[in-house]
Amino acid sequence: MNLPGRAYLKWVIAGIALLALLPATAAEYRATNLWTLDIGERSDSTPAIAADGTIIFGTFNGRLWAVNHDGTVKWKYRAGSEIFSSPAIASDGTIYFGCRDRKLYAVTSAGKLKWKYAAGWWVDTSPAIGSDGTIYAGSWDRKLHAVTPAGKVRWTFETAGYVVSSPSIGTNGAIYFGSHDGKLYVLSPEGTKLWEFKTGAAILSSPALDWDGSVYFTSSDGFLYVLEHNGQVRWKLKTGGSREGSVALGLQGRIYLGVTDEVWALNADSTRRWRRGKMDTDGTPLALADGTVTIVWRNGQMQNIDPDYNHKWFYGVITSGVISPTVSTGGVTYVSGEWSKFHAIQTHVPIARTAWPKFRGNLRNTGNLADSPR
Q: What is the pLDDT of residues 237-287, one digit of tens each?
A: 998 877 788 999 999 999 999 887 888 999 999 999 998 876 677 889 999
pLDDT for res 19: 41
pLDDT for res 373: 81
Residue 14 has pLDDT above 80, yes or no: no
pLDDT band at 1 (very low <50, low <70, confident <90, very high): very low
pLDDT for res 278: 63
Residue 350 has pLDDT above 60, yes or no: yes
For β-strands 272-277 and 262-266, DSSP reports them as: antiparallel
Cα dist from 65 to 49, 105, 111, whole Å = 12, 14, 9
Mean of per-residue pLDDT scores for the chain: 90
pLDDT band at 31 (very low <50, low <70, confident <90, very high): confident
DSSP state of 49: E
For residues 302 and 325, give the distance between their C-alpha atoms in angstroms, rounded to a whole number.
9
Residue 318 has pLDDT above 90, yes or no: no
Residue 6 has pLDDT above 80, yes or no: no
pLDDT for res 192: 98
The DSSP annotation for 217-280 comes to: EEETTTEEEEE-TTS-EEEEEE-S---S---EE-GGG-EEEEETTEEEEE-TTS-EEEEEESS-
Domain annotation covers residue 35: yes
Residue 322 has pLDDT above 70, yes or no: yes
Question: Is residue 64 a contact partner of residue 77, using CB atoms and an 8 Å limit?
Answer: yes
For 40-70, letters b (16+ CB in 10 Å) and e give ebbbbbbbbbbeeebbbbbbbbbbbbbbebe
Cα dist from 132 to 146, 201, 320, whole Å = 12, 33, 36
pLDDT for res 28: 46
Domain count, the chain: 1
pLDDT for res 179: 98
Domain annotation covers residue 336: yes
pLDDT band at 146 (very low <50, low <70, confident <90, very high): very high
pLDDT for res 107: 98
Q: What does pTM read for this prediction? A: 0.91
Residue 26 has pLDDT above 90, yes or no: no
Cα–Cα nearest to 195, from 219, 231, 168, 144: 231
> Rounded to a whole number, what is the distance in angstroms from the first to the last CA of the chain?
41
Who has greater pLDDT, 368 or 318?
A: 368
Residue 3 has pLDDT above 80, yes or no: no
pLDDT band at 13 (very low <50, low <70, confident <90, very high): very low
Mean pLDDT of the region 304-323: 82
pLDDT for res 12: 44
Domain annotation covers residue 1: no
Torsion of CA 12, 15, 17, 21, to 10 degrees: 180
Residue 71 identity (one-letter amino acid): G
Lowest mean pLDDT, pick from 134-148, 179-193, 315-329: 315-329
For residue 124, the domain's CATH number is 2.130.10.10
Domain annotation covers residue 88: yes
Mean pLDDT of the region 199-209: 97
Cα–Cα nearest to 36, from 316, 330, 328: 316
Residue 2 has pLDDT above 90, yes or no: no
Domain that holds residue 173: 6-371
Mean pLDDT of the region 174-181: 98
Domain annotation covers residue 75: yes
Who has greater pLDDT, 317 or 255?
A: 255
Domain annotation covers residue 313: yes
Torsion of CA 346, 351, 352, 353, to 10 degrees: -140
Mean pLDDT of the region 73-77: 98
